[in-house]
Amino acid sequence: MHRMMTSDPSATKGVSLTPGLVGRVWRFAHAYRLRVFGFLAIVVVESFLGLVPPLVIKAIIDHAVPDQDKGLVTVLALVMVGVAFVNAGLSLVERWLSSTIGEGLIFDLRSALFDHVQRQPIAFFTRTQTGALVSRMNNDVIGAQRAVTGTLGTVVSNIVTLVTTLIAMAVLEWRLTGLSLLLLPLFLLPAKRVGRRLAGITREGFDLNASMNATMTERFGVSGALLVKLFGRHDDERDFFADRASRVRDIGVRSAMYSRTFMVALSMVGAVGTAIIYLVGGRLVISGSISTGTLVALGVFVTQIYAPLTSLTNARVDLMTAFVSFDRVFEVLDAPNPITDRPDARQLANARGGIEFDDVTFAYPSGAEASVTSLESAAQLAAPDRSTGPVLHHITATIEPGELVAVVGPSGAGKTTLTQLVPRLYDVTDGAVRVDGIDVRDLTQASLRAAIGVVSQDPHLFHETVADNLRYAKPDATMAEMEAATRAARIHDVIAAMPDGYRTVVGERGHRLSGGEQQRLAIARMLLKDPAIVILDEATSNLDSENEAAVQQALATALHGRTSLVIAHRLSTITDADRILVIDDGRLVEQGRHHDLIDAGGLYADLYRTLVRGDLTAS
């Protein structure tokens, strides 16, 4: 019970209707300013039209009925019908404007979020929960849109209605108008406290929903579903998900009860105020101070006062909760991206493929530098930070254009990390990485990565057709070019044998293909890109001996004339390399040709003997 009645103090952190936040929201909606003004103008007109029916009723009771003027009754009734038709038309226009503004804003926010996130460095994605990101792009963006269309229109409408109604009431009977305002403090005092509490509950609910989405994203992927089945953890997963879903349920109940209790209290205050108006006004009618029509009109007007007051009081609550969404969206948009193009960045044209590591030292960025804390899991936040120290130390090596260089070393030595510095997935901490003599930080990322092809140990394939996955490397590739690439990678015959050929959907992460087929398709994609530099990170690790021999033959032809940086444990790749870099504990301890390193009797010789024993055992 205590947990349900107490919100997390961090939930309200940074949530306030500051001029800066409001100004930023308005700047985001600036493209729709004309529609916003049109929308607000219609809301104002509708508020003024709301004054007409009570005044018409007053005229009917005080003049048309006593004078038995049927013509006047007819005219006044037609006025009421006309106002209703005008209101209906304005309501349709208002809805069109609000929907185009709202959906446009959703599009802009989602597009900005997607573009900003997908440009983040790889360190951002190693720490971020995918489900939490998806939640920001769905739930939070929609919540932010409601602040601009729904809440803004409601606030303007209620303010105009309140002001015009009070003026009309004062003109009819100033004493009852003053009496109706005596209850005003009872509407205003609870608003700030309830608004802050509901904002906290809303943020907590968003966080819990994001956590639940992250769980579903991980478990419903093919890899996650396979892992659950292989370990038989269905009941545990059900209980784990139910725990998170129950917390979402509890926070929803808390939010609903706070909102409803608040609104019921305000409705009771309004009901008391209306009763007082009729009590005092009825006595004034009996004494002859005011007419019956005036009392009826005031009775209608007083409900038009308390309804906007209730709504305006709740508007602060709505704004506080809606701006939580904006705050969470801007939190991601404000995430710094340390790997960006410099203003004077150069294009890498006609790349030759030379690579130079100049006294390179590298440490992984800290969580504060690489991610948004609220997008990380609790386990990630509790885990030791990888940025405790350098993982690469003063590495210096030069790779000439067209050279085939193998990178070997024990597991965790830093081989993959070293190769990730070339396409600038990370920036060096000290020293420099150069391509064709130019520091990669002085090159545009697009031109640098266009010159580099990478095939990793676990290649990613999209849930699209074979042709779509190939054309990701070259969108305008012809069928002949794709077939040439797949033939070179020894995968064409497999594709041609599929029922839909190149139009076959490979499934999420390519799970409709075998591991070797996925690897060969990724190699074909790399060949279609035709890069000057090729990085192979255990690219043949999932192939059997027959497929490996075929792909190695294809790669020997395809890599001719290209600079190749290969992380491999296979003997054929290592012994045929022009040079071998031996990495141990983040340091370059040896480099040279195979026979020279064997003769040196160092770490490489030990690793090679281990590989020979492994191959003999496997055979």
How is 19-52 classified by DSSP, letter by letter? Answer: HHHHHHHHHHTGGGHHHHHHHHHHHHHHHHHTTH
Q: What is the mean pLDDT of residues 414-435?
A: 93
H/E stretch holding 572: helix 571-575
Q: What is the mean pLDDT of residues 240-263?
A: 79
Query: CB within 8 A of 103, min separation 6: which ones?
Result: 145
Q: What integer pLDDT is reported at residue 571 of this predicted model?
A: 66
Which tens digit of pLDDT belongs to each residue from 516-539?
A: 788 888 888 888 888 999 998 876
Helix (H, G, I), strand (E, B) or coil at 228: helix
pLDDT at 68 > cutoff 50? yes
Q: What integer pLDDT is reported at residue 610 of this predicted model?
A: 77
The two beta strands, 452-455 and 533-537, are parallel
The rounded distance, in Å, linking the Cα atoms of 296 and 277 is 10
Which tens digit of pLDDT belongs to each residue from 337-378?
A: 888 899 999 999 888 999 999 999 999 887 667 677 777 754
pLDDT at 76 > cutoff 80? yes
Give me the percent of the chain exceeding a pLDDT of 70. Answer: 79
pLDDT at 265 > cutoff 50? yes
Asked whether 455 and 543 are in contact (CB, 8 A), the reply is no
Asked whether 179 and 276 are in contact (CB, 8 A), the reply is yes
DSSP string, 418-479: HHHTTTTSS--SEEEEEETTEEGGGB-HHHHHHTEEEE-SS----SSBHHHHHHTT-TT--H
Domain ranges of the chain: 2-333
CA distance readout (Å), 265 to 184, 196, 234, 311: 13, 17, 46, 12
Rg (the chain; Cα; Å): 35
588: left (phi over 0), alpha (psi -120 to 50) or beta: beta
What are the residues facing 581 on neighbouring strands? 407, 591
Asked whether 389 and 363 are in contact (CB, 8 A), the reply is yes
Q: What integer pLDDT is reported at residue 382 of this predicted model?
A: 46
Mean pLDDT, the chain, integer: 80
In the 3-class helix/strand/coil scheme, how is 266-323 assigned residue by residue?
Answer: HHHHHHHHHHHHHHHHHHHHHHCCCCHHHHHHHHHHHHHHHHHHHHHHHHHHHHHHHH
Q: What is the mean pLDDT of residues 277-304?
A: 83
Q: Which range is least confidently modeled, 199-208, 408-417, 493-502? A: 199-208
Q: Residue 377's CB: how many other CB atoms inside 10 A?
A: 17
232's tokens: 């038989």
Of residues 109 and 602, the one with the higher pLDDT is 602
Q: Identify the CA nearest to 357 among candidates 435, 453, 449, 463.
A: 435
The two beta strands, 392-399 and 563-567, are unpaired
The rounded distance, in Å, linking the Cα atoms of 111 and 467 is 26
Which tens digit of pLDDT belongs to each residue from 54-66?
A: 888 888 888 888 8
Q: Identify the CA nearest to 198 among candidates 315, 310, 313, 320.
A: 320
Q: Identify the CA nearest to 96 among candidates 106, 104, 85.
A: 104
CB burial class (10 A; 0-12, 13-18, 19+) of residue 198?
buried
Q: What integer pLDDT is reported at residue 82 of this predicted model?
A: 92
Q: Residue 505's CB: how many other CB atoms inside 10 A?
A: 15
Q: What is the mean pLDDT of residues 548-574?
A: 73
Which tens digit of pLDDT belongs to each residue from 449-489?
A: 999 988 887 788 888 889 998 998 888 999 999 999 888 88
CATH number corresponding to 2-333: 1.20.1560.10
Q: What integer pLDDT is reported at residue 6 of this predicted model?
A: 32
Helix (H, G, I), strand (E, B) or coil at 145: helix
Asked whether 417 and 392 are in contact (CB, 8 A), the reply is yes
pTM of the model: 0.70
pLDDT at 14 > cutoff 50? no
Most confidently modeled range among 139-143, 149-153, 317-321, 398-402: 398-402
218's tokens: 């991980």
What are the residues facing 533 on neighbouring strands? 452, 563
Q: What integer pLDDT is reported at residue 13 of this predicted model?
A: 43
